[in-house]
């Protein structure tokens, strides 16, 4: 059975959302200062300090001697995997900003674990009507642009093992189209009213490491622009791959 699509809660609590985003950042990236957290969230330094203090109190974070904050005991079990993800994210961020500068649509970098994907980096468009940051969010892989790209790289037997209770014929057809095109187009598949286009990013060892994508409101998507969007994404992906090798 498919997991339900994610929609924001009707009464979102900004402080809770920001605290969860901080916890995700610490787990994926390593130590951050109050100033860095404030800049990332777009909040005052005093607000960032209060949020971090609560995370410290609940053992989600630890304050270090240099006044930076690192992941706490509650999250340390998964911290062993942060180095690769952190390096990938750090290398990708300048390229995401470049994508936003060129296309003025929100840009994302996403990795896959099993049947889910996690957005590890997100840079929002500057337009008033835009797709918001998805950083730290988790979605079913087969419902997302990057998920389709990364699932398309799997051997048939691995795909069968992951999706034992799924309509494999339909999924195989979708993935075959992605492999044939070399990109993925997602029109409302993961979120209603959102269109996303993405291409794979290959690691230095030759495997698909992540999906690079842009997201936009469906009202702004124009089909005739698709070749230009894909070409731009591929150019930026190649630049990111070059950086990952060095």
- Which CATH number fits the domain that encloses residue 167? 3.30.450.40
- Within 13 A of 30's CA, how many CA atoms are on the CB side? 11
Q: Which of 160, 81, 157, 163 shows the shortest CA–CA distance to 115?
A: 163
Asked if residues 139 and 7 have their Cβ atoms less than 8 Å apart, the reply is no
> Which run of H or of E encompasses 235?
helix 226-245
State residue 109's pLDDT score.
97
Ranges of the chain whose pLDDT falls below 70: 1-12, 76-83
State residue 208's pLDDT score.
92
State residue 246's pLDDT score.
84
Task: Specify if 111 maps to a domain.
Answer: yes
State residue 8's pLDDT score.
66
What's the rounded Cα separation, in Å, for the pair 79 and 30?
8
CB atoms within 10 A of CB 232: 18
CATH value at residue 40: 1.10.10.10
Are residues 115 and 223 part of one domain?
yes
State residue 78's pLDDT score.
53
Task: Specify if 234 maps to a domain.
Answer: yes
Task: Specify if 4 maps to a domain.
Answer: no
Are residues 146 and 60 part of one domain?
no
* Domain end (from 28, 47, 74): 74
Are residues 190 and 226 part of one domain?
yes
Task: Specify if 112 maps to a domain.
Answer: yes
Task: Specify if 9 maps to a domain.
Answer: no
Domains contained in the chain, number: 2
State residue 158's pLDDT score.
93
Task: Specify if 5 maps to a domain.
Answer: no
Are residues 170 and 142 part of one domain?
yes
Q: Which domain holds residue 220?
A: 81-245
Asked if residues 120 and 88 have their Cβ atoms less than 8 Å apart, the reply is yes
State residue 1's pLDDT score.
43
């Amino acid at each position: 059975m498919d997991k339900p699509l994610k929609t924001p809660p009707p009464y979102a609590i900004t402080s809770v959302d920001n605290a969860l985003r901080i916890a995700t950042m610490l787990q994926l990236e390593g130590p951050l200062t109050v100033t860095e957290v404030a800049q990332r969230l777009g909040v005052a330094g005093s607000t960032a300090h209060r949020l971090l203090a609560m995370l410290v109190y609940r053992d989600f974070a630890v304050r270090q001697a240099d006044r930076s904050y690192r992941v706490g005991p509650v999250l340390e079990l998964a911290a062993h995997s942060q180095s690769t993800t952190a390096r990938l994210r750090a290398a990708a961020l300048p390229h995401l900003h470049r994508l936003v500068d060129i296309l003025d649509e929100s840009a994302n970098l996403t990795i896959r674990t099993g049947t889910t994907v996690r957005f590890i980096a997100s840079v929002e468009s500057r337009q008033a009507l835009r797709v918001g940051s998805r950083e730290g969010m988790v979605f079913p892989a087969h419902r997302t642009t990057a998920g389709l790209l990364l699932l398309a790289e799997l051997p048939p037997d691995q795909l069968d093992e992951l999706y034992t209770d799924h309509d494999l014929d339909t999924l195989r057809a979708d993935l075959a189209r992605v492999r044939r095109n070399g990109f993925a187009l997602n029109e409302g598949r993961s979120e209603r009213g959102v269109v996303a286009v993405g291409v794979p990013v290959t690691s230095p060892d030759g495997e698909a490491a992540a999906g690079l994508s842009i997201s936009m409101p469906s009202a702004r998507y124009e089909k005739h622009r698709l070749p230009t969007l894909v070409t731009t994404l591929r150019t930026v992906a190649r630049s990111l791959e070059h950086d990952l090798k060095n």
